[in-house]
Amino acid sequence: MDRITKAARLMIVSDLDHTMVDHHDPENMSLLRFNALWESNYRHDSLLVFSTGRSPILYKQLRKEKPMLTPDITILSVGTEITFGNSMLPDDGWDETEQRPHKVSFYVDKTKAQAVMNQLSDCLKKRGLDAKIIYSGGMDLDILPQGAGKGQALIYLLKKFKTKGILPVNTLVCGDSGNDAELFSIPDVYGVMVSNAQEELLQWHAENAKGNPNIIHAKERCAAGIIEAIGHFNLGSNTSPRDVADFLECKVDHVNPGYEVVKFYLFYERWRRGEADNCETYIASLKASCDPFAIVVFPYGAEKTLHECIHTMKGRYGDQKGKQFGSGWIVYCPHQLAQAHGS
């Protein structure tokens, strides 16, 4: 939290499974579209928060399976743990009282879920336990302290930001299942239920938030629905560089090195796949926009100047045609470090 020193233009708080991550999309295209949009337009002045029911172990496993961005903040285990950055440093103010021993989880068939929840609630009350029961995804039942949960974790973060005088200008919450419902009940935030939202979330919305103009049910699935919501609420640009066919048309209102880095990786990817026109003008434009002192570090450790790599691209046009292909490069510049998140 200490490294966040100014108010974010936009803070996106998103569930992962079936919201940011589409497990029915083998090419991860909607996720890659969001990644390119975020890195090019928002990373420099906004905050990305992942809020998931996954434990740290399962979260790290998902990161190995899917091309996910590194968020600024991660809320784990249905809101019982909060960590910051790539190193996942814990927020001691929250985690001291909300560790995983305070979360108990079960799989329950949805046809029996309501009866089980009613009986469980009665049992907990008789024992004097002030607990919260959350059912989501048509199978997951979590028992948490009353003060825990995704919504309470976000409220905690918003209070900390407000105390520091850096409350985000806009906050967009995104979800698909019952354990995301609390996020949509927080005042003064925008919300998007992705098109593939679970029945229990849609029912909650119908009973508690129907008619709220700040919450929409997107037409698009998963990350594509989040992109849709950014545009619907006029929170900023929702045109992903992956959706722009002509790279010479890729422009932003202000000079943004991140946008140029994303353009470079996308062009490289399309060039190797043979999807971009084999045009000398593209190569010249690319070279002109790149720092002449930039160094490319390959996955196996070798280093070359960026201009040298661009020059060698000429002979590699289309050599990865028809394949899933990602560069895996890291570009080091004298005054910035940027890493692309391609396929």
For the beta sheet containing 336-339, the strands, ordered from the edge strand earlier in sequence to the opposite edge, are: 303-305, 295-297, 330-333, 336-339
pLDDT tens profile 282-299:
788 777 877 778 887 776
pLDDT at residue number 282 = 78
Q: Is 286 helix (H, G, I), strand (E, B) or coil?
A: helix
- CATH of span 100-145: 3.90.1070.10
pLDDT tens profile 191-207:
999 999 999 999 999 99
According to DSSP, residue 327 is labeled -
* Exposed e or buried b per residue across 243-266, where buried means at least 16 C-beta atoms within 10 angstroms of its C-beta: eeeebeebeeeeebebbbbbbbbb
Report the C-alpha gap between 9 and 341 in whole angstroms: 22
Per-residue pLDDT averaged across 315-337, rounded? 63
pTM above 0.85, yes or no: no
Report the C-alpha gap between 184 and 151 in whole angstroms: 8
State which CATH number among 3.40.1280.10, 3.40.50.2000, 3.40.50.1000, 1.10.10.10 fits the domain covering 10-90+149-241.
3.40.50.1000
pLDDT tens profile 168-225:
999 999 999 988 998 999 999 999 999 999 999 999 999 998 889 999 999 999 999 9
Q: What is the mean pLDDT of the chain?
A: 82
Domain with CATH 3.90.1070.10 in the chain: 100-145
The dihedral sign for the CA sequence 239, 244, 246, 250: positive
Per-residue pLDDT averaged across 238-260, rounded? 72
- 23-26, long-range: CB < 8 A, 24+ apart: 24/221, 25/221, 25/222
pLDDT at residue number 214 = 97
How many CA atoms does the CB half-sphere of 287 hold within 13 Å? 14
Domain with CATH 3.40.50.1000 in the chain: 10-90+149-241
pLDDT tens profile 52-108:
989 899 999 999 999 999 999 999 987 788 999 888 888 877 764 434 455 666 676
Distance between the two ends of the chain, CA-based, in angstroms?
Answer: 30
